[in-house]
Structure 1
Amino acid sequence: MIRPPTLRPLRPLRTSASLMTRSLATLGIRREDPRRVWERRTPLTPEAVATLTDKAAVEVESCSRRCFPDSAYAAAGAKIVPKLSKDVNLVLGIKEPRVEDVHALIDSDPSVKRTWMMFSHTHKGQPYNTPLLSAFLPPSKGQTLIDHELLTSPGKDGKLRRVAAFGWFAGAVGAGEALSLTGQALLRRGVSHPLLHLARPYTYTSLDEFKAALKRAGDAAELTALRKASDPSLSHDAEGPVVIALTGAGNVSTGSRDMLDEAGVQWVDWTQLPNLKPGPKIYACALPPYSYLQRKTDGGYDRIEYYANPDLYESTFTERIAPYITTLIHGAGWQEGFPRIMTNADMERYLAEGKGKHKMIALQDVTCDVEGALEFMNHYTTIDEPVFEGPGGILIGSTDVLPTELPADSSTYFSGKLLPYVERAVDRANGKPVVNDEIDQTLNRARIVANSELLEKHEWLQENVDKWRATQSVGLLPQKKRVLLLGSGLVAGPAVEAFLKRPDVQLVIASNNLAEAEALARNRRNVSTRSLDVSDDAALGETVAGADVIVSLLPAPMHVQVARHCITHGRHLVTASYVSPEMKELDAEAKAKDVLLLGECGLDPGIDSMAAMRIMERVHKEGKKVVSFVSWCGGLPEASASNVPLAYKFSWSPKAVLTAALNNAEFKLNGEMRKVAGQDLLREHFPNVKLWRGLALEGLANRDSLPYAEKYGLGSIQDLRDCFRGTLRYQGFAHLMDGFRTLGLLGQEKVEAAGSWPGFLAASMSQALGREVKEENLLAEVEQATGADAELVEALQYFSLLPGSSLGAPAPPALPKQPQAPIDTFASLLSKKLAYASDERDAVLLHHAFKIVPADSGGVGEQTVTASLLCTGDERASAMATTVGCTLAFAALRVADGQVQVRGVTGPYTKDVWAGVLDELERIGVKVKETWS
């Protein structure tokens, strides 16, 4: 049996006493990008760090997700820091860091020469990481980039092989994921197999525990098969034995093969596949290239010829292999110009010949080569969402961070391999001479950038950098894509971050709160700030004229004013707000000036529409039609943060939340057209919306749902059973909010300024009830107006609106000194009282449910399609800020890049908007999951 990689023995831990001697070098282990939630690996273990503390000071960025705790690194002699200091001259990580973090460290002391070691994913010219590569080049100075992937050393045959890689662990975890996936896929075929109970690899604390689970699963499968064979009354799988096929011959496939051995599979030759019968074990087959690749002329195979002239060869996988295997674990490399194992056309032919009973039902693509060797494998999965449904219902996994499912074991292995090269890099940082031995030569081969210059073999990347990189020359600044961000409020942070990942973007943040804008711009390149009062129309027009694309975070009523300036100056506008009737009136004028006024690019409206359009494209493509559409969306605190009146906290505009509770609504449910007046919306809420287990939700109808039949292409409203869009809240929200409405707190006519918060309530009630309410009688008046509602009274006390105790709630803000509408004053109060604490998180929830039928079926054969999103905020940004701010930014960047052709006033209903934005959101972990029953 092939053994797993052996771990390099490490020297004993050393204490922090070794730091008493001043080192020239400072080594820093950075925190991985926090958006990579599952990235728990580390380049050096605490034991490895302990071996370095006599020659370098070691800083470790604090991280509670890392597989080894901060305390272990501290015990090894490292200093735990919130951020790496400017003294660090050797920076270690696993994956690529955020570009802004690289710039921040370089800018903290530009004179420090630094070496960066990571999997940078830049040396193949990957477009998405060109900004990262450019960060190490001029005007930066003294930066060296060493890529873990390029650390190679000659093997016994003289060929260069990687010395520090996770391939074996990727294959090992991939095999576990494949077996678990096979259990799910078989269940969908009506077969309950013991593999269904095999937990995914990340649930095990160690490789040994994972191996033990594989053995138990294999034993259970064998016992089940033997029991079926001995008892004729037990049914057998009509589709034959479970057969796992494996491609590749490197570390990845070795890892997979070793784990399949742990599961006790029975290995067979590929030529035996057509004749396999159900047996006591799971069958497995390692596929040599010649089993599915052959010369077009005579069916032969010659390895040297194949790599020299791949065009002479074709794949026979569809005919020779696919009909006989249950699951494919794909671990073989592929590059453009070589034959695909299966093309899309091959897959269509395979499914047609199988007539719905094809045997291959699961695929784990460990290579994660999108539209590569397996063309139908067309997007990545994640550890959170490990599978998508491919052609013919095949379950596909394609997660590119599989080794992090066994983070401690894979990190220990990798650390042992990497340590000699880190030690040598520390020596170089300490000024020791190059000895040009194999370690030095390996490090030289792995350098992409040295002293902020591309190495000769990587000079071709400069052209990519030049295309992506904006010059620092003032005279050439117009070549940048100029983006103006109007506003600096709650959702601005993620938008700014998304814009500034693009070095070809020059961002201006214009706000009436200059301190807030400057906080967003601090320590960042390619961004400036400007104080702007939007009521100064001339200043607004001048500011708009200086940009190419304007992104407005201003209140929705101000968008029309901005839009008029955009039309005047020929600039494009992107907002997250609903397209208002006033904005629609500008459509013809905008088209005449070739201007796009793009609204509804946030969460709701925004991601909800984009997700619906993606589903509708497939519905139309498959010749089907929609008979029902029900959609829910909402932003809420996590349960732990919801123990306040309204069970709600504010991650976006408080006034917008209050105003939404007063809108008229129109929709169709159960074949009935319904209209709800704004004054009745809260009372006519939906008290129990069951979507996510454990969440006690209620809902409000969201404006006019009926136009979405046309917007989404759902068909005629007369032909739809349901057409409904709703807003989600925790149960109890509508009842309290309706009480506040009754008391006048949502009133929109100004009242005189009050001297106290109870006085403000008295003034609001006086206006709403049409008679004077005195502050000294306030409690009795509230009870009379609301029927002695104890819950409402308690909420008013919490909000400091009744004389006496405020139940320990946060202190209220100062009262306005001028007359103001109650809804504005109340919004100000709630924004203070219901603000998130620093350790509290929010979540956004989205759920679409479509009922579809074949277009010519007469309504028979109804199918359910859902799209759902549950996104939680983190320490960097709220979920609302991420989903609204990033959606806005990604849409605006597509407009700036010329990728959106539509003009006039519209929402995100064309594919050149929604497809690209959804792809970018998925890349940062905001994924709308679809299910097709």
Structure 2
Amino acid sequence: MKIGLIKEGKNLPDKRAPFTPKQLSYLSEKYQGSLSFYVESSPFRCFSDEEYIQEGIEVVGDISFCDLLMGVKEVPASQLIPDKTYIFFSHTIKEQAQNRGLLQEILKKNITLIDYEVLKDENGNRTVAFGHWAGIVGAYNGLWAYGKKSGLFDLKRALDCFDKEELDQELLKVQLPPIKIVVTGTGRVGKGVEEILDQIGIRKVGPKELLLQYFDEPVFSKLSTEEYYRRKTDGGYDREEFYTFPDKYESHFLKFAEVSDILMAASYWDPKAPKLFDMEDISSDEFSISVIADITCDINGSIPTTVRTTSTLSPIYDIDRDTFQVLSAFGKQNSISVMAIDNLPTELPRNATEDFGNQLIGNFIPELLKEESRILDRATITKKGDLTIEFIYLKDYVTTTED
């Protein structure tokens, strides 16, 4: 099997890759005779063409001879090669309107699409993800934004750091007053956020402590869904029921918004679940949050102030508390500053690529070598131009022409 690493085509191009040069060298040697690897030349990738060449990997201008094409972000519809097998994050399984055209083109071009997001083990756990690095960069960016907004400290942008080691040195500059930070999410992303907050010495407290106690130092609390969702009928909570029937629940998050200064949103959100708060709530004098790092980055999703994504070049916009209009970054002293970059790990691309590549080596490559793989079958959205049984629910999504 010939496997090609494609040049990222989205604008702005993502700097990540599925594998580092050393990882491809390792795979080429281990699976010699079964798998061969090629890299499409790219001026944007965090690892240069020369770094791959030095590891003995062939860099090519035309990748169309490969059997499997591996990328990271969505491939622009115009760049899709017909009759090929691709694997990348397609962002279509939630029926995202912005990628409907992409999935339509995939079907039209007779393409087989595997999606990293639905690569799961037999217990339903995801086996490959960038979530940890999204949490790390998202938390850093949240602190960067607070520093800019308050004028208390000035950090280098994460994307200007060569790697995590340099970012760690920047974090030494953080000097926070006795503020409260609320974090949603206990998975990979939430753990990445917590790693950064721990690193700068912010004390972790329980949700009740955050709500009820005064502190003379900065603190944070990490919330599970049980802390801010409750059943509509009786105020109770059942984890299995919530994830199966989230529409039976309502948000109880405002009590945290009344005491917190920064929100770092790192929890997966089901569109059927209630939003954490309503846009109208931010106009209340009791809504204390002034910086939101929305790492989940669902447009009009769990965080109503996330009305659009931001980019690595323009990472912040503000929301006016009274008019709910979008303002320029840090446009008013009392506005809410929102960070909603949708590809956060690309700001530390070398570290993120290495971690992701290790996950692929352990969990994806072995499945490729199997004659039959249930794991790959379940992660295949389209097969030779048709939706698979697992994803037949997307039929109306791809046949609809309007949002």
Tell me the TM-score range normalised by the shorter chain: 0.7 to 0.9
Q: Does 1:96 align with 2:74?
A: yes
Residue 426 of structure 1: CA displacement?
5.9
Question: Which residue number in structure 2 is paired with residue 76 of structure 1?
Answer: 55
Is residue 368–residue 380 contact of structure 1 (8 Å, CA) maintained in 2? yes
Q: Which runs of 5+ in 2 are unaligned?
A: 322-334
The Cα shift of 1:467 comes to: 4.3
Distance 1:363 1:127, change over 3 A: closer
- 1:314 and 2:314 are equivalent in the alignment: no
How big is the shift at 1:311?
4.2
Give 1:287's aligned residue.
223
What letter matches 2:3 in structure 1?
Answer: L
Report if the CA contact (8 A) 1:168-1:251 is conserved. yes
- 1:95–1:119 Cα contact (<8 Å) kept: yes
State the alpha-carbon separation in 1 of the partners of residues 10 and 107 from structure 2.
Answer: 25
User: Which among 181, 191, 200 is matched to residue 244 of structure 1?
Assistant: 181
Query: Secondary structure of 2:4's match?
Result: strand
Note the C-alpha offset of 1:444: 1.5
Letter in 2 for 1:314: E
| Corresponding residue for residue 265 of structure 2 | 330
| Cross-structure match for 1:270 | 207
Residues 716-765 of structure 1 show CA distances to partners (whole Å, capped at 9, x for unaligned) of xxxxxxxxxxxxxxxxxxxxxxxxxxxxxxxxxxxxxxxxxxxxxxxxxx
The structure-2 alpha-carbon separation of the partners of 1:40 and 1:254, relative to structure 1 and needing over 3 Å to count, comes to same
Tell me what 1:571 maps to.
none
- How far apart are 1:323 and its partner, in Å? 1.7
The residue identity in structure 1 corresponding to 2:303 is L
Match of 1:449 among 372, 382, 385: 382
Q: Does 1:43 align with 2:18?
A: yes
- How far apart, in 2, do the equivalents of 1:421 and 1:341 lie? 34
Cα offset, 1:44, TM superposition = 1.2
Residue correspondence of structure 1 range 667-682 to structure 2 within 5 A: none
| Pairing 1:27–2:3 present | yes
- Alignment of 1:152 onto 2:128: no
User: Superposed, which structure 2 residues align to 1:354-503 within 5 Å?
Assistant: 354=286, 359-392=288-321, 393-420=335-362, 423-424=365-366, 427=369, 434=371, 436=372, 440-467=373-400
1:423/1:331 CA distance change after superposition, 3 Å: closer
Q: CA deviation at 1:397?
A: 0.6
Please give the alpha-carbon distance, in whole angstroms, between the structure 2 residues aligned to 1:57 and 1:324: 55
Structure 1 CA distance, aligned partners of 2:363 and 2:341? 28
Partner of 1:258: 195
1:122 aligns with 2:98: no
Shift of 1:184: 2.1
Whichever residue aligns with residue 458 of structure 1, its letter is F
Aligned-pair distance for 1:198? 2.5
Q: Which amino acid aligns with 2:261?
A: T
TM alignment of 1:724-763, pairs within 5 A = none
* Separation (CA, whole Å) in 2 of partners of 1:124 and 1:79: 36
User: Partner of 2:308: helix, strand, or coil?
Assistant: coil
Structure 2 matches for 1:711-722, cutoff 5 A? none
Cα distance in structure 1, aligned partners of 2:65 and 2:241: 53
Are the aligned partners of 2:39 and 2:57 in contact in 1 as well (CA < 8 Å)? Answer: yes
In structure 2, the residue matched to 1:210 is 167
Q: 1:137 to 1:359 in 2, by over 3 A?
A: closer
Listed one character per residue, the Cα deviations across residues 365-387 of structure 1 (whole Å, up to 9, x for unaligned) are 10011222222321111111111
- Residue 409 of structure 1 aligns to a residue whose secondary structure is helix
Question: Are the equivalent residues in 2 in contact too, given 1:377–1:390 (CA < 8 A)?
Answer: no
Note the alpha carbon deviations across 1:604-624, whole angstroms, 9 max, x for none.
Answer: xxxxxxxxxxxxxxxxxxxxx
The structure-2 alpha-carbon separation of the partners of 1:311 and 1:133, relative to structure 1 and needing over 3 Å to count, comes to closer
- 1: distance between equivalents of 2:347 and 2:179? 25
Superposed CA deviations along residues 67-100 of structure 1, whole A, max 9, x for unmatched, are 111011112222222232x421111100111212
Counterpart-to-counterpart distance in 2, 1:461 and 1:278: 49
Map 1:709-858; keep pairs closer than 5 Å: none
CA distance in 1, matches of 2:363, 2:246: 36
Q: Distance in 2 between matches of 1:441 and 1:198?
A: 46
- What is the number of residues matched between the two proteins? 386
Give per-residue Cα distances to partners, 1:129-178, cap 9 Å, x unaligned.
2333233335x45x321111111113xxxx31111100111111111011
- Equivalents in 1 of 2:291, 2:168: separation in Å? 21
Q: Is the 8 A contact 2:77 2:106 kept in 1?
A: no
Task: Tell me the equivalent position of 2:332.
Answer: none
1:903 aligns with none
CA distance in 2, matches of 1:211, 1:361: 25
SS at 1:27's partner residue? strand
The alpha-carbon deviation at position 183 of structure 1 amounts to 1.6
Going from structure 1 to structure 2, the CA distance change for 1:310 and 1:87 (only over 3 Å counts) comes to closer
State the distance in 2 between where 1:205 and 1:286 align: 29
Give 5+ residue unaligned stretches, structure 1.
Answer: 1-24, 107-112, 188-192, 226-240, 428-432, 469-896, 900-933
Task: State how far apart, in whole Å, the 2-side matches of 1:261 and 1:203 are.
Answer: 22
- The answer (yes or no) to whether the contact 1:185–1:394 under 8 Å persists in 2 is no
Match of residue 177, structure 1, among 141, 145, 154: 141
- State the shift of 1:242 in Å: 1.3
SS at match of 2:121: strand
The DSSP-based 3-state class of the residue aligned with 1:42 is coil
Q: Are the aligned partners of 1:45 and 1:415 in contact in 2 as well (CA < 8 Å)? A: yes
Tell me which of 276, 280, 283 is aligned to 1:345: 280
Structure 2 letter corresponding to 1:362: V
Give 3-state SS (helix, strand or coil) of 1:294's partner.
strand
The letter of the residue matching 1:342 is F
C-alpha displacement of 1:208: 2.6
1:480-629 → structure 2 map (5 Å cutoff):
none
1:30/1:60 contact within 8 Å kept: yes
Per-residue CA deviations over 1:830-849 (Å, capped at 9, x if unaligned) read xxxxxxxxxxxxxxxxxxxx
Q: In the alignment, residue 79 of structure 2 is paired with which amino acid?
A: D
User: Using the alignment, how far apart are the partners of 1:63 and 1:70 within structure 2?
Assistant: 7
CA contact (8 A) 1:266 1:282 kept: yes
Cα distance between partner residues in 2 of 1:200 and 1:328? 19
Q: 2:330 corresponds to which residue?
A: none
How far apart are residue 117 of structure 1 and its match?
0.9
Amino acid at match of 1:115: T
Q: 1:384 to 1:442 in 2, by over 3 A?
A: same
1:126 and 1:314 map into 2 onto residues whose CA distance is 23
- Residues 45 and 68 of structure 1 are in contact (CA less than 8 Å); yes or no, is this contact kept in structure 2? yes
